[in-house]
Amino acid sequence: MKQFQYIRAANQKAAISSLTKSTSAQFIAGGTNLIDLMKRGITSPDTIIDINSLPLRHRIVCRRSKNWCTCTQ
Amino acid sequence: MSDKNNESIPEKECKNVNESRRDFLKQTSLLTGLALTPAAVLKAAEDKWDEDFASSLEKVPLKLEINEVQKRISVEPRVTLLDLLREQIGLTGTKKGCDYGQCGACTVHVDGKRVLSCLSLAIMHQGQKVTTIEGLANGENLHPMQEAFIKHDGFQCGYCTPGQIMSAVACIREGHANSEAEVREYMSGNICRCGAYPNIVDAIMEVKEGGHHI
């Protein structure tokens, strides 16, 4: 697995701004769809943004196109 | 020949050559130092992010409670919980089967929930409680699920067993062991190549019906 920068997002805004700062940043929650691909070298994000500590359990709408993700709660 | 050359260069000029060589060395070592500084560190320093960031080329301090023992370790962000447990902590009871989340051999409990440690970065579990197969027994007394697996012969080669037992305990705690069919469904993430499934289900049903506090 290639090295990456790990960021534990403090809040939603910070998470989204971290995502937009890099072209290959990825959110991580469970990791089951990301870490196996990283191990195989299929994807190698330079930044991993951990969103586990964010209060996203209630409702989240995520629209994603290219590397843009807009989330509303 | 060389004597002649030395004589031909004035002393002052020689001094200048020496100085410039020293300057050159100073400059190059400074530049090398700058070039070797991880880009991520420089970038993070520039941006002054308020998040808890970890530089990509450095080990990160990690606090974990593993089997009720507090551990302070430093890990690279890319190290999975499984590799941390097996290679850094030395708890090799948790098995690496497929390493891609397909087999369930690496199942551990994190804060009481079952987690595939091979698909989980160690750094994501800052401050959490991890229980492995080694932490299940109470001293010399085996956990009721371990006893039941032995009694019902819930394994042949035993490679999947640590994961099976961790999953089985969580399965009962979650309240998903009310029928054989339900047990099979909620244990479906744990693959047994030897095909000990009927015995595994028997073991789980016995522990469930035995009313043990697990």
pLDDT band at B38 (very low <50, low <70, confident <90, very high): low
Query: pLDDT of B44-75, one tens digit each?
Result: 555 555 445 545 457 899 999 999 999 999 99
- CB-nearest partner of B53 from A5, A38, A52: A5
Residue from B119, B123, B125, B128 to probe the interface with A (highest A Cβ count within 10 Å)? B119
**Which residues are paired to B130 by β-bridges?**
B66, B110
Query: pLDDT of A4-61, one tens digit each?
Result: 999 999 998 999 999 999 889 999 988 888 999 999 999 999 999 999 888 876 656 6
Contact A7, A18 (CB under 8 A): yes
A36-73 exposure pattern, b = at least 16 Cβ within 10 A, e = fewer: bebbeeeeebbbbbbbeebeeeeeeeeeeeeeebebee
Query: pLDDT of B125-182, one tens digit each?
Result: 999 999 999 999 998 999 999 999 999 999 999 999 999 999 999 999 999 999 999 9
Residue B18 has pLDDT above 90, yes or no: no
**Of residues B42 and B82, more confidently modeled:** B82
Do B124 and A14 make contact, defined as CB atoms within 8 angstroms? no
Residues whose CB is less than 8 angstroms from the CB of residue B135 and which lie 6 or more positions away in sequence, other chains included: B66, B67, B68
Report, as an integer, the average pLDDT of B186-205: 97
Rounded (5°) CA angle B114-B116-B121: 115
> What is the overall mean pLDDT for chain B?
85
Cβ atoms within 10 Å, residue A30: 14
